[in-house]
Every structure is written in structure tokens, then in C-alpha cells.
Amino acid sequence: MEFTNLNNGNVSRIGLGTWALGGLDWGNVSDQDAIATCLAIFEHGINLIDTAPVYGNGRAEEVVGKAIREHGHREDFYIATKAGLERGTEGIVAKVTPERLRQELSASLTRLDTDYIDLYQIHWPDTAEPLEAAAEQMLKFYDAGAIRAIGVSNFSPEQMDVFRAVAPLHSCQPPYNIFERAIDADVLPYCRRHSIAVLAYSAICRSLLGGRLAATQQFDASDIRSVDPKFQQPRFSQYLDAVARLDRFARERYGKRVLHLALRWVLDRSGVSVALFGARHPAQLEAVEEVMDWNLDAAGFEEIDAIVTETVLDPVGPEYLAPAHRISA
């Protein structure tokens, strides 16, 4: 495993993402499988687990907390969680007030059965509240030792500028993968300039780059991919064609599969610290072994770009994931 430093924390460059373990947006996962997956990270050199209260309405955090108790050594885990999303009758909205941050931190500490969070992140910016107030509250958590690093997720450079004027900012978590590269234009260079660690989520694009999907695949209404434009025809076939060609390229050039190529691509991008990899069963983490000890060369990056350009004729980003805007009272 490769490691990086995040505000004096030694963090594996691949982290376990737990959105699917929440069981609400990706189909049911048993507690037994979820806990086993969290514990299996150590077999592959991983110590970072990224979670959030909105994943299964707290269930993902509870599962991680059970895994920590079963393991028995809290210090072996680097736990990143988030705050600021509220699930209501009209869907998910960003709500980031100081009061809500205090409530969420307390609830997360209880579910995770810990007295500190290694990395605490604002999940999405709340456009109805001043960012300065949220930053001030995060700084209070940090100064009190309740959190050991401060992060944001899905923030623009302009929003990070406002935040950094009040509090230190140690990390940013944007979506980033072979098919979704918007951060190349602004967020990634900004984070490089200001030494902000980048934790890339959706590194395999909601399983699309896993290489196991077929054009006939049906997604249950409870599965987040059922409303993802990438998984709707005719785009779906375009993306699957790209995956097939990327898989052939990975096998012929590197002796790997498309899943390994996709994760290596993220890790080898300048400025990226960590690639988050969602797994629902321990066996899925075995892929991590094939991501280490090799790198993409310039010709490899160029060939990947050519494949995507030639096959994905109607690209679309992850904008559908954004929560609804909230109107301030």
C-alpha cells in the first residue's frame, strides 16, 4: 500500500468508501458483510474509512463503529466522516449551520463509538448560510481536539477561499474518475497550489469502471444508479463501449483489468492524495492488490484519453448528485 500524510496523519492512498454499506441507496447489505468489509481493509494495507451520516441515515457510521469495537484498536483506523446533509420529504438538502454541525458531530461520535474524528468534512456547501460561520464552528471542533483535520467536499475554489480565511483546510473531496474530470480545470490545481489533500470519490464511477456491467443491466428503483444519466440509454452503451476498450487496453499494456486501471489512473493524477473505493463485500477489496507497484506512463494517459473521446459521444458529469438548494429562513 502507498501512504500519504494528511495533517500529520498517515493515510493509505486507497480508502474504503461506505456509501453502499449504508444500504439505502445501493441495495441491502447485511451487518455481517458490512462489518467484515470494514475489518478486511487491514488485509490490504488500508487504514482509511470514509463515511457520512446520510449514508443509510446513520447506518454506515454505526457499522463502522461496530467494526472498530470488534477490532479493538481505534488508533489503527483513520476515520473520515462528514456533516451538513439532511434527508427530508423532498429529498436531500445541504444544511450547514453551527447548531447543526454541533448536533451532527455529537451523533457521529456516538455512532462511531469514538471520542474523536480523524477528518471531519462538510459534505456539501450550504448556499443559504454564510460559509464563515461553518468554518468558525469547524475551527472550534479542531481546537478542542474533537476532530484532527478539517475537510470539505464538493466545494469550489471560491468557496474554499472563503472557508480558508477563517479556518485551516486540510482536504477536499470531489468526484473524480476517468469519465468525470471537471476538477482538472479548477479544484485540482487550486488544491495543489494550497497544499490541500484531495480525496477523490466515485473513483470507479459508481461501479461503471468495475467492468462487470452489461447493457441489459436493470437497476432497482432504490439503487442510485437508476437515476444516474450515465446508466440510461443511449449513453449507457457508449460508456460500456469505453469500459470494454479500456479493459482490453489494461490487459494488453499492463496485464491488469479496467478496475485496476481506473484506480491507478486516479492515484497517478498530479495532486490526488487518495482514491476512495466503495466495496460491499470483503472479497471486492482484493482488487487493491493489483493497483499497487506500477504506474501509468504518458503514453498510457494519452491512450485512455483517446478511448474516452472516441467512444463517449454524449458525456455527462455527476451533477445529478448535488442536493437541492435550501432557502434561508
C-alpha 292/C-alpha 1 separation (Å) is: 6
Place of cell 471531519: 120
Q: Kindly list the catalytic residues.
A: 55
Continuous segment of H or E residues that includes residue 99: helix 98-112
Angle at alpha carbon of residue 256, lines to 213 and 311, rounded to 5°: 50
Residues with Cβ within 8 Å of 140's Cβ and at least 6 positions away in sequence, in order, are none
Q: What's the one-letter identity of residue 200?
A: A
Report angle CA 108, 171, 178 to the nearest 5 degrees. Answer: 105
Give CA–CA dist 236/324, Å, rounded.
25
Query: Which residue's C-alpha cell is 449551520?
Result: 97
Residue with cell 496485464: 255
CB distance 298 to 99 below 8 Å:
no
Contact 142, 105 (CB under 8 A): no
**Please, are residues 13 and 274 in contact by the beta-carbon 8 Å criterion?**
yes
Q: Where are the alpha helices (DSSP H) in 255-297?
A: 258-267
Residue 58, CA atoms < 13 Å, CB-side half-sphere: 11
Peptide bond between residue 234 and the one before it cis (omega within 30 degrees of 0): yes
| CA end-to-end span of the chain | 48
Q: Reduced to 3 states, what is the DSSP secondary structure of residue 250?
A: helix
Rounded CA separation 82/94 (Å): 12
